[in-house]
Amino acid sequence: MKALITGVGGQDGSYLAELLLDKGYQVHGIVRRSSSLNTARIDHIFNDLHLHFGDLTDATSINTLLSQVKFDQIYHLAAMSHVRVSFDIPHFTTDVGALGTLRLLEAVRAHCPDARVYNASSSEMFGKVQEVPQKETTVFYPRSPYGCAKVFAHQICVNYREAYGMHVSNGILFNHESPRRGETFVTRKIVKAAVRIKRGLQKELALGNLSARRDWGYAREYVEAMWLMLQQPTPDDFVIATGETHTVRELLDVAFDYVNLSWKNFVTEDPRYYRPTEVDILQGDASKAKRVLGWEPKTTFVELVQLMMEAELGATE
């Protein structure tokens, strides 16, 4: 089986690549050309992967690759994935997230229409939530350029599935974290700061909305759900979530407690980090995934933060 991962160098891409290699796949990935090759998350499996230079803003590179390799499965994970930053670069966010998905679907339709496609949708599509918890039928109300781009990508995938009979599934993944999460995301930002403050390398941490509630799960488990979606005879859309919510304050509690500190002595809430339009709560209902895919989360919120802390402490020793 030949599989292609867009965003192979990201958190999810690296875990998914490991999973597919373990299952005997020939794994290909698209990486963007830059002055420095950002492959830190996949360096340990670098020689086992088939990497190709390409970019979702460049239709030619995508079409060329898909015309040369007939993929059985395509996992579309690439995006400008930082919600707060999407307000600063909305054009780029939309070009990659929305139109990039369309370019990929067109390439699939032209060159390997029988390939099964997974698209990474997002809980940010729910934004100003219309019901709690959110499930596959909940109305979308995005509150950021990132969320808006994801809604377009999600709906165009549904359209191509219905219009052309393509096997395209959307995974509506709620927040999922790991030691491989980027350092600008709030979970990793907190974990890294807690360790640095404990070691005397940092004095304080400024964050945005501490009251925001999120449904946080473990990324390594969430990529298993992606694979399961493409094993189904019929494509569909699935919410992947824990069903629990926790505030940023609760995350701070667990992280700083792990190193015997009180976060209240070091953390400030800074309006500079607020989003122009906030998302107050995201909570997913993954009962459909459990029923159809047999998937459910295993790692608790506390266990997740603790394993991130343990990894961060080990990395900085």
For the entire predicted model, the pTM comes to 0.96
Q: Are residues 164 and 202 in the same domain?
A: no
Residues of the chain above pLDDT 90, percent: 94
Number of domains in the chain: 2
- Regarding whether 210 and 145 lie in a shared domain, the answer is no
Q: What is the pLDDT of residues 107-128, one digit of tens each?
A: 999 999 999 999 999 999 999 9
Domain co-membership, 310 together with 260: yes
User: For residue 295, is it within any domain?
Assistant: no
Residues 167 and 197 in one domain: no
Q: Is there a single domain that holds both residue 132 and residue 196?
A: no
34 as an active site residue: the answer is no
Query: 279 and 209, same structural domain?
Result: yes
Q: Is the pLDDT of residue 316 over 70?
A: no
Query: 124 catalytic, yes or no?
Result: yes
Q: Do 254 and 167 share a structural domain?
A: no
Output the CA–CA distances (angstroms, integers) from residue 72 to 7, 126, 158, 169, in the order listed.
18, 31, 19, 14
* Nearest alpha-carbon partner for 107 in 33, 34, 27, 164: 164
Identify whether 131 is part of a domain.
Answer: yes
Q: What is the CATH number of the domain that holds 161?
A: 3.40.50.720
Query: Domain with 204 in it: what CATH number?
Result: 3.90.25.10
Q: Is 146 a catalytic residue?
A: yes
Q: Which of 81, 122, 123, 144 is catalytic?
A: 122
The range of the structural domain enclosing residue 102 comes to 2-176+217-240
Give a yes or no: residue 290 inside a domain. Answer: no
In the set 15, 75, 118, 146, the catalytic residue is 146
Q: Is residue 291 in some structural domain?
A: no
Q: Is the pLDDT of residue 197 over 60?
A: yes
Point out the catalytic residue in the list 118, 123, 124, 144. 124
189 with 263, same domain: the answer is yes
Tens of pLDDT, residue by residue over 290-312, are 999 999 999 999 999 999 999 99
